[in-house]
Structure 1
Amino acid sequence: MTQGMSAAELRTLLSEALPGAQDADTEQPGPNTLFTPTSHRLALDPEVTVVRGGRGVGKTFWFHSLLDDKLRRIAAEEYQISRLTRVVVTAGYGAQLKPDLYPGPSQMHALLDSGVHPADLWNSVLLVALEVPEVLALSSWTERVEWTRDNPGTRDVAVARADQEARSDGVTRLVLFDALEHLHRERAQADRLVSGLLRLALEMRLSTRNLRFKVFIRPDMFESGGGRFADASKLSANAADLTWSTTNLYGLFFHYLGNQGSPGLSAEFRRLRGGWRNDTDNRYLPPVELLSNGETQKEEFTRIAGPYMGANYRKGHTYTWLPNHLMDGTEQVSPRSFLSALRTAVDETIEHYAHHDHAIHYEGVRRGVQDASQTRVQEIGEDLPWVRTAISPLAGEQVPIEQSDVIRLWEADGLREKLERQARRGDIEGDEVRTGPRNPDDYPELIGELIELGVMRRRKDGRLDLPDVYRIAFAIGRKGGVPKVKAS
């Protein structure tokens, strides 16, 4: 048990093991960081076309992991998906610039501005992924898209031939798409591109046996782009969501402690807990009870952070308090927010509570939630700038709050006019907007959309609430809740 490690040793291990900058686009996954939560198994099935998830839940992580032969084999073994060992994987779009495989954002804009249809663009990407010689011989994406547009019959023959060859080889050709929020800054153009991509993904699913797309996408982008064609419901029925349970989150945490710290401290942590299995490449798998048994996890986390968020149980139990205060309105916590909050908690403890009896002080946990809230609001401001515009007029108020009071505050703030201006010329900083509300003129519908996004939730008595992960950074109060971050 970890009672064999001192608080200082555990604190050092936590500081070493927990990731710093939480940026999935710049940190590549490896065997030591590969974690396979039970809820993600379906998302990796080659037959699942759409994988939905918000920021920080693992879309880019799995995109990169599936492109890596070693990581894909590990995932195939642990999830027992044998078909993952018989796939040929290619990137069809991602955050990294790979002009040989797909156009970058600037090229995308130029192609659309020149009148290129999204269907022709994505078909040209497909033909490059399938290594069709006539397309690979062309030096620019403009030429490739023009060839695809002018040769529909040859395109069909090439796709059928690739499907037959993959079938003969006993493999599936899997084309992956990620970072779709970077496709285009304007909502209408992004929706057109997503719609064209999803149409082609559905065509591959229905008309071929061994050619498949896997599209990692935010739920709001799927609803917005997928809603542009009737057969999108067939993709919805085949979609998977990247969700995280509390036990998944703590399983990830313990996985990091056993794999990412200095060799000596991680080895000592594994030895004291016992039951760890040595996989490959110095990758260690936590015992089952640390992965899925909430009581065992609570016991272990209590040794690290103490039992309570204060003097006694009335302040809350640390194990449940942390995820509960990071949940959005759909009761989901992103692992990025979870690990970031823990990292802040450790740093805060080192700076202010170095002689505390536990590796993490409960005030550090509280500070971690405050910082995670600030980060989450910043992220949603980047992804959906209109959300920040809609919630900002509620600053200084208390939740839960009556819907009529929210609408009154919006009316007084001129929200409708602000959203209209934002849609026309960009957000208040001048950046172009990728997405906007479906109907900015209808305030009740706007509230419904905020509830769908998890920014708001409706209580049983009809009043509206904001989860702490948004409420704190938006400077909205709640009696007895985690206080907002004080301005420095």
Structure 2
Amino acid sequence: MSPEEREQVLEAFARLGARGDGEALDPLTTFVPLGPHRRALWPENVVILGSRGTGKTALFRLVNEPRTAARLRALFEDERIPEATWIDAFSVAALHPEVGTLEAYAAGASDITLRAFWMTHLLRRLRDEVPEVVEVPEALSSVLAAPVPDLRAWLPAAEANLGVVNAALDAAERALSSADRSVMATYDTLDRIGQFDPGVRRRYLSALLSLWLSLSSRYRRLRGKLFLRDDLLDAGELGFADASKLRARSEALTWDAGALLQVAARHLAEESEPARAWLRDVPGLTLVDRGEFGWMPGEMKSREVQSAFVARFAGKVIGQGVVKASSLDWMMGRLRDAHGGVTPRVLLWFLSFAAESARKGPPRSRGALVTPRDLLASLQRTSRQRVQELVEEYPLVKRMENLRGLTLWLGRGEVEARLAQRRPDEPAGNPARGDLVVSELLRLGVLREVDDGKLDVPDIYRYAFEITPDYSASWHELLVGEKLRAR
């Protein structure tokens, strides 16, 4: 590879960072139709499970955009995916009640009231999106005309007429069947409800899940898809009859190294012909032009093709002697959160930032695209970027600033005491109790429990807060052949 060709490929890798941010991307040419995502769209599956960053929201957006929803069956090459109208039945969008309103209302509400909320809001969304299949009964005219956020203005009347609501949904199912149509009602960001009050969250989720467990047995044309954090589907916690049956109607979105690298290859192939030529030289990797769906890399399930991809980018191995590891293992190990997960966006950032660093170095025509120094610079920058992303969605992560510069491991009590202290730039509403903060950060994978109940921080978050030991410094000495000291 000439220096000019190397620069073109590095430029393509460097642009993956913007792709990780989703800037002006066409989902039809960037989404990777993996098996779990395909099965999640089958009509019999009600719950789509995954931790943060596993692609639930990306899939939610894909199915709720009319242009892309119309091409789902062709993109996934699966006739079991229905030709359907997909509607947003609940998300953070303004057309739904705000989660704070829902939390406040739950204090004096019965479980029947919460079921009435979900049923009536579903009917309202059907009325808004597919009005031709919904006839609004007179008893519900004022209910559906009331402002959505003002629950007190419509929910008591809806509960009093719950039989009418149910009959209206039944009528919509019959109308869809007569018209040979299907509607998929989708629900996202449900974990935002009762973020710091698990009891409230459990009650809303139990009401919604029990509703759709019932509807999925009765309806064939009106179906539900609930995008749910995997730890929230616990039959014991949900506490309603037949809750365990939901497991049989769920699909988990998971990302292994092969799937993650396939996403990177998919985005890279869309960048330029030099990038596609680089990919074609990866042993075992196939690349197919699928027309409107862009360039599609083949499956990368085998460790051989995964290692070959990473070796072309960063070399075969990292380290020396007894601490020598494959570059693939080193990279994935540094990017994992406390639950062992790596998100596609994090991987795209890491590859992009390493390429940006390499472009600042001297031109080369031999060897891997990036050097160990580039990898370490990228790791630190990726950590900061990941924390910034997480803070935007979960402001409580700002409390990690209270651990800045400390040496971990630390005892749980000390960490709880430090994280109980509010930050000046922190929004109102976060808990003051350190144990609640620690529990939430453990759930998010920002903290992890280690020996003797002590707490540590994964590498992907460590460097953003300058928490020591600074393993990147140790790795640097290891990588450049100086003192062999590393984790």
Give the TM-score category using the shorter length.
0.7 to 0.9
Name the counterpart of 1:344: 353
Partner of 1:45: 42
Change beyond 3 A, Cα 1:428–1:228: farther
* Alignment match, 1:20: 18
How many Å apart are 1:10 and its aligned residue?
Answer: 0.9
- Say whether the 8 Å CA contact 2:183–2:223 is kept in structure 1: yes
Shift of residue 155 of structure 1? 1.1
Q: Which residue number in structure 2 is paired with residue 322 of structure 1?
A: 331
**SS state at 1:240 partner:** strand
Q: Partner of 1:253 in structure 2? A: 264
Question: CA, structure 1 residues 430+327, in 2 after alignment: closer, same or farther (shift >3 Å)?
Answer: closer
TM-score normalized by the length of structure 1: 0.76
Whether the 8 Å contact between 2:412 and 2:453 is mirrored in structure 1 is: no
Distance 1:250 1:182 in 2: 30
Q: 1:140 to 1:463 in 2, by over 3 A?
A: closer
Deviation, 1:346, is 1.6
CA contact (8 A) 1:468 1:482 kept: no
Equivalent-residue separation in structure 2 for 1:236 and 1:363 (angstroms): 46
Asked if 2 retains the 8 angstrom alpha-carbon contact of 1:304 and 1:360, the reply is: yes
Alignment partner, residue 447 of structure 2: 455
1:267-306 aligned at under 5 Å gives the runs: 268-269=277-278, 275-281=286-292, 283-288=294-299, 291-306=300-315
One-letter amino acid matched to 1:249 = L
Aligned to 1:359: 369
Question: Over residues 446-483 of structure 1, what are the superposed CA-to-partner deviations in whole Å (9 max), with x where a residue is unaligned?
Answer: 68983794731546x98765432233334443585566
Is residue 217 from structure 1 mapped to residue 223 from structure 2 by the alignment? no
Equivalent in 60, 76, 92 of residue 73 of structure 2: 76
2:409 is the counterpart of 1:414: no
Q: Deviations over 1:109-164 (max 9, x none)?
A: 79779979443332222102333332687263246645533421221111222223
Q: Secondary structure at the residue paired with 1:90?
A: strand
- Runs of 5+ in structure 1 lacking a partner? none
Q: Counterpart of 1:362 in structure 2: which amino acid? A: P
Tell me which of 198, 209, 231 is aligned to 2:209. Answer: 198
* Structure 2: segments with no counterpart, 5+ residues: 128-133, 477-487
Change (3 A) 1:4 1:215: farther
Query: Which residue number corresponds to residue 130 of structure 1?
Result: 126
Indicate how the Cα distance of structure 1 residues 85 and 69 shifts in structure 2: closer, same or farther if over 3 A, else same: farther
Which segment drifts farther, 124-133 or 379-388? 379-388
CA drift of 1:63 comes to 0.4
Q: Is the 8 A contact 1:52 1:219 kept in 2?
A: yes
Find the residue that maps to 1:163 and give its secondary structure.
Answer: helix
User: Cα distance, 1:61 vs. partner?
Assistant: 0.8
Q: Are 2:36 and 2:251, in contact at CA under 8 Å, matched by a contact in 1?
A: no
* Corresponding residue of 2:342: 333
Q: Does residue 64 of structure 2 align to residue 67 of structure 1?
A: yes
Residues 261-301 of structure 1, C-alpha deviations (whole Å, 9 max, x = no match): 14x4355446656842221315121134xx33331232233
CA distance in 2: counterparts of 1:111 and 1:447, whole angstroms: 25
Within 5 Å, which residues of 2 pair with 1:90-101?
90-97=87-94, 99=95
The 1-side partners of 2:399 and 2:18 are apart by 29
Q: Given the superposition, is the C-alpha separation of residues 469 and 19 from structure 1 closer, same or farther in structure 2, using an over 3 Å criterion?
A: closer
User: Does residue 458 of structure 2 align to residue 467 of structure 1?
Assistant: yes
State which drifts further: 293-302 or 7-16: 293-302
Counterpart of 1:240?
Answer: 251
The separation in 2 between residues aligned to 1:60 and 1:194, in whole angstroms, is 18
1:161-214 deviations in whole A, cap 9, x for unaligned? 222333445554211112335557764655554444334333322443433221
Mapped to 2, the partners of 1:356 and 1:147 lie a distance apart of 73
Structure-2 change in CA distance of 1:360 and 1:133 (3 Å): farther
1:265 pairs with 2:274: yes
SS of the equivalent of 1:20 reads helix
Q: Report sequence identity in percent.
A: 22
Partner of 1:84: helix, strand, or coil?
Answer: coil
Distance 1:378 1:201, change over 3 A: farther
Give me the whole-angstrom Cα distance separating, in 1, the residues matched to 2:358 and 2:194.
42
1:250 offset after TM fit, Å? Answer: 0.8
Offset at residue 249 of structure 1 (A) = 0.8
One-letter amino acid of the counterpart of residue 414, structure 1: A
CA distance in 1, matches of 2:161, 2:287: 57
Work out the number of aligned pairs and report it.
456
CA RMSD of aligned residues (A): 4.3
Cα separation, partners in 2 of 1:144 and 1:408, compared to 1, 3 Å:
closer
Cα separation, partners in 2 of 1:3 and 1:334, compared to 1, 3 Å: farther
How far the C-alpha of 1:393 sits from its partner, in A, is: 4.8
Q: Aligned partner of 2:327: which letter?
A: T
- What is the rounded CA distance, in whole Å, between the counterparts of 1:332 and 1:435 in structure 2? 26
- What is aligned with 1:368? 378
1:365-390 CA deviation, whole Å, 9 max, x = no partner? 22222223233444555655666658
For residue 307 of structure 1, report the CA deviation from its aligned partner. 2.6
SS of equivalent residue, structure 1 residue 36: coil
Q: In the alignment, is the contact (CA less than 8 A) between 1:10 and 1:304 conserved in 2?
A: no
Q: 1:128, 1:146 → 2: CA distance?
A: 15
Q: Compare 372-381 and 170-179 and name the one that shifted more.
A: 372-381
Residue pair 2:13, 2:268 contacting (<8 A) in 1 also: yes
Contact 1:29-1:64 within 8 A present in 2 as well = no
Which amino acid is 1:277 matched to? V
Distance 1:268 1:4 in 2: 15
Match of 1:215, SS state, is: strand
* Partner Cα distance (2:30, 2:297) in 1: 12
Which amino acid counterpart does residue 123 of structure 1 have in structure 2?
A: M
1:440 aligned partner: 435
2:169 alignment counterpart: 159
